Amino acid sequence: MKTLGERIAYYRKKSGLTQEQLAEKCSVTPQAVSKWENDLSAPDISLLVPLAELFGVSADELLGREKCSGAEEDAVDLGNYILHIRYIENGETYQINLPLSEAETFINGGIINFGKGNLKKIDFAKIASCVRSGKLGKLVEFEEADGSKGEIWVEG
């Protein structure tokens, strides 16, 4: 990967994001992301650190100043990990156990829907990045103002 655009495309795909999803997270248009990836333009400098954090890499690595660890991380099969989500709302407990590789499709596709839409706020790219870097177990535990509670963990 020689260009910034190639690295952005690589990390976006590796994170399981579409150009539209990345654009939304960066508050730009999908056309802007396409131009970045085709080296027709570059992201604003103020987006470099947030992009690197989103992809779970350093800004130096995103800019090509450090060697990309791609092949080793690509070897991680997200289908071998189970994403567990437990959500307690109005005294009712909901639990989801899905292969990590399929979780985003089920939740963002509306197949699984509870928690006042809060499940759609889960950043699957960050969860995948945690798994690729070897972080397993409980990743998130939260309690909302209305008393709803939840936790997210991954097992291999």
How far apart CA 94 and CA 75 sit, in angstroms, is 32
Exposed / middle / buried, residue 126 (Cβ in 10 Å: 0-12, 13-18, 19+): middle
pTM of the model: 0.48
Query: Superfamily assignment of 4-74 in CATH?
Result: lambda repressor-like DNA-binding domains (1.10.260.40)
Q: What is the pLDDT of residues 7-62, one digit of tens each?
A: 999 899 988 999 999 999 999 999 999 999 999 999 999 999 999 999 988 888 88
Residue the block writes with tokens 């509670």: 149
pLDDT confidence band for 66 (50 / 70 / 90) = low
Q: Where are the domains of the chain?
A: 4-74, 78-155
